Each structure stands twice: as structure tokens, then as C-alpha cells.
Amino acid sequence: MYLVAFAELWERFSYWGLVGLLVIFLTASPSNGGWGWDNARALQLYGWYAGLAFALPALGAWVANSVISERRCIAIGGIVILCGHVLLAMSPSMAHWYSGGEGPNAAGTAIFLVGLALVLLGTGLLKPAISSIVAGLYPESGARRDEGFTWFFTAIYIGAAFGAIVVGYLGERIGWHYGFGAAAIGMALGMLAYLTKQNAWLGDIGAAAPIKRQHSARPLTRVDWERIGVIGVQGLFTIIYAAAFYQMFGMLALYSRDRLDRFIGGFEVPVTWLQTVNLWSFFLCVPLLSAAWRKLSRQHRNPSASYKLSFGIGSLAIGYLVLVAAESGSGPDLPSVLWLIGAYVLFGLGDSLVWANQISLTSKLAPLRYRPLLVGGWYICIGIGTWLTSYIGMLAEHYSFRTVFIQLACGCAIAALLLALLTPLQQRFMHGAEDTGHE
């Protein structure tokens, strides 16, 4: 767990640092080293990039399941990600960004986009394989696997938080290429540890080639199909969750830059630092929730992961209501950044209820030989939701931020209520997977 968590920590350091900078970098003026894009175009690239970053793990899951082992997927994926970040940092568009003051030159643009593409491809290979290995560390399933995933995601969020702080600050305040370069260094540290220690620390977990797993092949039963159906329903609601949550790096990044008073005690808070508030909230919530789930599990009252997803979506609804209040009460002055901080605290609560529990549930419900594939499928749902963020965010170009916040709050509230009503039925089709291990 320490090894895979450390590797994923640095992968998230690099990813969150990059994605936190992306929209504000694309919309920055050429005189400040940016591309000078309009908001709508920048949001579209962000939506496609972040959406594919979550969706491509489905392809990586197939590779891990059918072509090479999970361990090799992690190694190859990590190296490809590192190469992508190096291209971003060393691109001529970083050092000689614009031609005649009009914007980036063609060569710089091409190198930068190739770097983004490599990060996407590497992420697609690494993400499902490393999550599947975590599941393999806890073959007994049950509450212990839930806790293992919770602490695995805690390590991820540590990397994400410091990525946003370090990469974001360097990019916003020092120079874009310094931020992208820091992301490359972080990824190099994670891969160095993984490549040198994987054989000693992981043993045989995730090392078997797919052909060696043929002994586990068996026809899917009715129970298997019904469990897979539950994964599908959870995925649909996950799309709604992602479409609301990942506005942080799109519409809400532009909102915090252009619409909020970000001064606290004379210090102007960088946009990327605000994107860490939900992470600090996550850190506070995880120990409390983990203790609560253990206690409730001993009493056989631990809520289903489906209920937890419902609560998480509901937390986002309340967060957007906070932003509605900020827009309604600010008058002619800019709203205080404290409103956004309050909303992001609720986003962090939602994240602590959703991610670890949904990945754990998927690993429990999925037949063993299809586990990497179905974990990858869950990431596709996150990807679809993230891709939709750009189209939702562009509504703010035609309507007010307040109108979009109201729509998101209402949509999340309705989805949370509907999922809560559907959960008892879904539990019947889980056939006890949340309580006992299965093959």
C-alpha cells in the first residue's frame, strides 16, 4: 500500500498541478505568456482533456486485462506521463511563447498538445491498474478493503493538494514553464520509487500475465450480471456528480479569477490554491467518516455505497446553494472568496463520500477477471461528467453565474433524492457483495 500510494501521490501531484493551471493558462494574455483564448474555447479544451484523462483508463483496463500485466501497465503508463510533462516543460512555446504578440506559434502549440496527449495516454494505462492492485491487497473484501481504499485516496489527495499549491503557485506567479516543470519532477520521483521497489514490496500481486489468469475464467451468472447492472446505475449518477464537481477547474476557476474578491488580510489568494480547499476538507472528513463506517459496520448498519453517493451529490447541491447566496447578496461589490471556500468545503465532504466508496463497491461487484475493465468503466463515467463540465460552464457566457449555480444545485438535489429512493432496490441486486467477498 505504501508503494502504490506513493506512486499515485506523485501522479496526482503532476495531474492536479497541470489541470489546475490549464484554463487560466489558456485564457491568460499572450503578453503574460498565455494563449489568449476566450473562455468558451478554453473550457472546451479543458473538458476534452480532463474527460479523456478519466475515460481512457477503460482502454488501459483492457490492456491490463488482455495484453500485459497490471504492474507493467503502471510502469509504462508512468514513463509516458513523465515524457508528456517533460515536453510541456521544455516546449519552445514556454520559452518563446508568441510571435508578434498575437499568440503561440505553431511549433510551440504542437509540442504542448503532444505533451498533453502523452499525459492522457499514460494516465489511461496507469489509473485502472493501480486501483486494481489496491483491491488485490485486500482479497478478503469487506470493511477492511473500504478502509484501504480510503487511505489510498488520502495519499492521492495529499499529492493533489501539494501539486495545486506548488505547481499552481510557480505557474501563476513565477512562470508557466516552472509550474509544468515541477509537475515533471514530481512524476519522476513517483516512478523512481515504483520501478526500484515493486518486486520487493508487491510480490506477485498484479505481476501475472493475462494468459496466466485463464484458470479464473468462468461463464457469467445471473448474479454477476445483476451486480454489473448495479455498477451501471451507479455510473449514471456518478456522471452527474462529476459534471458538478469538476467545475472547479473550469467555470469555477474563471469565476474565482474574474468575479471574486480573493484578498484575505492583504494577500491575494492564487486561483489554484482555492482548488485545494476541497482537499483539506477531505482530509478532515476521512478520519471521522472512516471511524463512523467501522463502528456502523460492527453494528451491521454501515450505509450502502449507493447511499453515500447520494449524500455526496447532495453535498454538492448545498455547495452550489452557497454560491447562489454569494451572488444574491454581494450587491455592486465583488463577493468575498470566503463564499467559494465554504462551497469547496462541502465539495470535499462530497468527495470523501464518493470516490473511495464507489471504487471499492465496483471492485466488490465486478467478477474477478473483469475487475480492471469495470473499474475502468467507472472512470469513463467520471470522464463523461467531466467532459460535460465545459458545456455547462459555457452557459455562464450566455446567462449569469447565479443562474448556472441554481441549475446545478437543483439538478444535484433531484439526482441525490432519486438515487436514495433507488438504493433499496439496488441492494437486492448486489446479492450481499457489500458484506462478503466474492469471486
DSSP sequence for 322-356: HHHHHHHH-TTSPPBHHHHHHHHHHHHHHHHHHHH
Q: Which residues pair with 98 in a beta bridge?
A: 104
**Which residue reads 479543458 in cell numbers?**
46
Looking at residue 438, its pLDDT comes to: 42
Query: Alpha helices, DSSP H only, in 175-276?
Result: 176-202, 222-245, 251-258, 271-274
Look up the CATH number of domain 2-209+220-430.
Answer: 1.20.1250.20
Separation CA 38–CA 34 (nearest Å): 11
Asked whether the beta carbons of 405 and 318 are under 8 A apart, the reply is no
Separation CA 50–CA 379 (nearest Å): 11
Instruction: Tell me which residue of 180, 213, 153, 199 sits closest to 25, measured CA to CA.
Output: 180
Asked whether the beta carbons of 33 and 112 are under 8 A apart, the reply is no
- List Cα–Cα distances, 67 to 4, 74, 156, 373, in angstroms: 21, 13, 27, 12
Output the pTM of the full model. 0.87
Query: Alpha helices, DSSP H only, in 366-437?
Result: 371-393, 395-398, 401-430
Asked whether the beta carbons of 157 and 279 are under 8 A apart, the reply is yes
Looking at residue 373, its pLDDT comes to: 77
Give the CA count within 13 Å in the CB-facing half-sphere of 431. 18
Separation CA 326–CA 158 (nearest Å): 29
Instruction: Tell me which residue of 60, 46, 93 sits closest to 247, measured CA to CA.
Output: 46
Looking at residue 22, its pLDDT comes to: 93
Burial class (CB in 10 A: 0-12, 13-18, 19+), 251: buried
Hey, is 104 helix, strand or coil?
strand
φ/ψ of 154, rounded to 5, equals -65, -45
**Angle (CA) 426 432 437, round 5°:** 130
Separation CA 92–CA 102 (nearest Å): 16
Q: Say what angle helices 142-169 and 176-202 make with each other, to 10 degrees.
A: 150
CA 4, 10, 11, 12 torsion-angle sign: positive
Low-confidence ranges of the chain (pLDDT < 70): 91-104, 140-143, 146, 209-217, 330-331, 436-439
Looking at residue 95, its pLDDT comes to: 44
**Angle (CA) 46 47 50, round 5°:** 75
* All residues at 6 or more sequence positions from 328 whose CB lies less than 8 Å from its CB, including other chains: 402
Query: Looking at 196-339, which runs of residues are DSSP E strands?
Result: 263-264, 267-268
